[in-house]
Structures are given as C-alpha cells and as structure tokens.
Amino acid sequence: MATESSFHGWLDEKDWPNVDLDSNGNWKSSYKYSLASHDVEPVEGAFEFREPNLSPRFDWNHDPNKDKWTTGPDGLVLHTATITEDFSPAQNTLTHRILGPRSNVTIELDYSSMVDEDRAGLVSLRYDVGWIGIAKDGSSTTLQMVDNAEMGPENNSSPHQKERTDGKTFVKLGQEHVAKQGGVWFTGTRYSIFNFATKKSGGHAVVKAFDIRLS
C-alpha cells in the first residue's frame, strides 16, 4: 500500500494510477478523469462490413481461415472453409453476443454464389443449435429452419426464426427453438453467421448487413 506522501495525483511519475488524498488523508468525493474522451460504438445498430477490419464486437467461433473471408464494399464475403455435414466444426462462423433481455437480429444475405450442397444463414449458437438459412442442392435453392442440432445439455430462452422475401414483411418459419443452458459454454448464447460446404468447396455467400436491436 502506498503511503500518503506518494499520492501526487491520478498517475505517479511512472504513470501508475494513484489515489490523491485530501488534507486529512481521506479519499476525495470526486476525481478528474485522466484519459481523453473517445466515442464508444453503440450496442445496437447495423453493420455493413465495409471496413478492412472487423469490429471487435464480433468473434470467430473457431480459429478462422484468414484466406476464406474478406470485408469491403460488397460486405462480408464468407468462402466455404470447411466441408462437413455438421454445423459445429464449420470454420469462419462469425459470432456476436446477444443483447438482453430480448433482442432481434436481421441479416441481409446474398446467396447467388453458393454452390451445390452449401449451407449459409443465421444461427442461435449454444449447446444446441437452431438455424435459419439457405440450402443449395443442385438447381434447387430452399430456405430451411433446423432445430435442436445438439452440441451438449439445459435453458429457457426461445429464439424465433423469421424470413422476409418481399423486402417488407417477416413470416415465421418453423417452430420455436428452445436454447439450452450449461456452465461449460462460457461465452453464452451467441448470434452467428455461417457458410459451410457439405460436398465441395468453391462457393461463397455475402453478408450485406447485420442489424441487432433490443426488443
């Protein structure tokens, strides 16, 4: 513990933080903030991925394959980095912490460059998975809702998946997905954007926007 004689202000001569005491040796009622103010990104908003670097609010679910994703004027381009039948090992799944107690996420997805048996979309990620997305199978392109793809055990949050094709109205797709809780998944439930191949690599999907709002 530093003595009173060493308290010369918020930072000492070595730039270590110190508490400046009053004449009676007590803490003062207020202190001047020593750092310059700076803008803080709001927790809600739309992100279009046009900057060269991702916002620190986004995380990768696994170590990303840096050669399989880019950001720029077109948005976030996710090339298929993994060939898998199962969502969980898919690389380059981009995640964002949910906002509580309730929030909505909307993504704008360009799937025109997906190839046969690719899967891309938005997922509620925890122990079990509920996702809504595009499935490309031969000449057929369908919108699918997958529920309870298990990754491990228990909870009470209930995400709903909806789709909008006319640019105006959202329509509920599939059933309510009940996300399970457990102590091991320390990052908590996350909204996640994915694109993976089940047959061969070579396709890609473009995320034009990610919009998150409290509801």
Distances (CA, A) of 164 to 11, 140, 191: 54, 19, 18
Encode pLDDT of 155-207 as tens digits: 434 444 444 556 667 666 665 555 555 545 556 788 999 999 999 999 999 99
The domain ranges of the chain are 52-159+181-214
Encode pLDDT of 22-75 as tens digits: 889 898 888 777 677 888 888 899 999 999 999 989 999 888 999 999 999 999
Q: List the one residue out of 98, 105, 74, 64 whose CA is nearest residue 195.
A: 64
- Find residue 132's DSSP bridge partners: 122, 145
Q: What is the pTM of this model?
A: 0.72
Instruction: Count CB atoms within 10 A of the CB of residue 165.
Output: 9
> DSSP string spanning 28-87?
-S-----SPP-----SSEEE---SSS--TTEEESS---GGGEEEETTEEEEE---B-SSS
Residue 105 sits at the vertex; the CA angle it makes with 104 and 108, to the nearest 5 degrees, is: 145
- What is the token pair recorded at 63? 């170590």
Asked which of 55-69, 94-108, 120-134, 154-168 is least confident by mean pLDDT, the reply is 154-168
Asked which of 120-124, 163-167, 211-215 is least confident by mean pLDDT, the reply is 163-167
- Find residue 214's DSSP bridge partners: 103
| CATH 2.60.120.200 for domain 52-159+181-214 | yes
